[in-house]
A = this chain, B = another copy of it.
Amino acid sequence: MVKATVSGTVGALGDYLKEQRTQSRLSLRQLAEQAGVSNPYLSQIERGLRKPSAEVLQQIAKALRISAEQLYIRAGILSPDDGVGGSVELAVLGDTGLTERQKQSLLDVYASFLALNAADEALAPADSDEPGEADVSTALSDQ
């Protein structure tokens, strides 16, 4: 079964989209209705046969509670560090949806990752690619 993507990148978007949808336990029709598009069309987007318009993509992202920009990035359409090079610390601290403790925890984890990588790099340089599907999906204990 060959994959019939219209143009490389779109397939990735569709895959990510579907992944997010199923993870949200939404049926194709449900998401389609929430996003205000027809279900066949959403189906085609997920299979990479169509490229959604800006408005449609926005609606879908909204329905999935994710950023459209993130959708682009994850789909490989937009390079992560183009004009949007916001620092993680600032973004986290400025987030109004997090408590102070949560911010602290998040930044601790972030710092740990960076430290870990720094140590790694010292030992074995030249690491860049990995097919990461690290689904932690953890509901942590109360913060």
Residues in chain A within 8 A of chain B (CB atoms): 24-25, 51-58, 61-62, 64-70, 72-74, 77-78, 80-106, 108-110, 112-117, 127-128, 130-143
Q: A109-B109, A138-B108 are in contact. Are A132 and B99 (CB under 8 A)?
A: yes
Sampled A-B contacts (26; CB under 8 Å): A53-B54, A54-B56, A55-B77, A62-B82, A62-B83, A64-B83, A66-B89, A67-B69, A67-B89, A68-B68, A68-B72, A74-B93, A85-B94, A85-B95, A87-B94, A97-B114, A97-B117, A98-B117, A99-B127, A104-B132, A108-B135, A109-B138, A112-B138, A134-B137, A134-B138, A134-B143
User: In the complex, which residues of chain B have a beta carbon less than 8 angstroms from the beta carbon of A94?
Assistant: 73, 80-81, 84-87
For A106, the chain B residues whose CB sits under 8 A away are 106, 109-110, 113
Bound-state Cα–Cα, A104 to B103, Å: 17
Min CB distance A56 to B, Å, is 8
Separation in Å of the A10 CB from the closest CB of chain B?
Answer: 9
Contact B54–A67 (Cβ < 8 Å): no
Q: How far is the CA of A99 from the CA of B41 in the complex (A)?
A: 34
